[in-house]
Amino acid sequence: MTNPGRQAQNDAAERVICVDEADHIIGEAGKLDAHERGLLHRAFSVFLFDDQNRLLLQMRALTKYHSGGLWANSCCGHPRPDEPIIQAAVRRTREELGLAADLHEGFRFRYRANLDNGLIENELVHMMFGRFSGAAAPEPAEVASLRWMSLDALAKDVATTPSIYAPWLRLYVENGLEDLSSALAALEAT
């Protein structure tokens, strides 16, 4: 089992790729520094669906350096400098959920949100989609719990109880539900 304190330190110390609004690389920063200063950086969000088109949601571990205990999409993260985005998404899905998934990029989403502890998410997110069936083996330092939910049920729940969801997932649902639904439809067609 991973030491939660060490995991939080390692997580915060990683480097992220700073980008401009067109997703061109303009430099690097420490992940915690980027979140403290609100620097625009590249990220990804993974959306894994089962054969009933339900989305796998994760409750972030309470030990995460931000947004602990909140529900989020299947997996999120940042590519390391010189790491292809799809490779980073596959890596983090394996690290967080203990599973392998064939992922495909659907679209990009740009957002800025104030987080707990005075941190700022300012990200250009590559939205990744895939299918998963079977049992996950979540890393306890990353994930407190898992559940499946349809996009329609998620949209209703976000509208009625937004405080239990990570800010980025709320924004994806409130401002990008049509894009999420289209990406799911494209996934069904493959």
Calculate the alpha carbon distances from 74 to 20, 100, 113, 118, 156 in Å: 26, 12, 19, 24, 18
Catalytic option among 75, 96, 121, 123 = 123
Catalytic option among 75, 76, 121, 142 = 76
Q: Quick check: is 123 catalytic?
A: yes
Q: What is the DSSP string of 122-146?
A: EEEEEEEEEE--S-----TTTEEEE
Query: Is the Cβ–Cβ distance between 43 and 126 less than 8 Å?
Result: yes
Nearest to 138 by CA among 57, 65, 27: 57
Q: Which amino acid is at 136?
A: A
Q: Quick check: is 76 catalytic?
A: yes
Q: Which two tokens stand for residue 2?
A: 């991973």
Supply the residues annotated as catalytic.
Answer: 76, 123
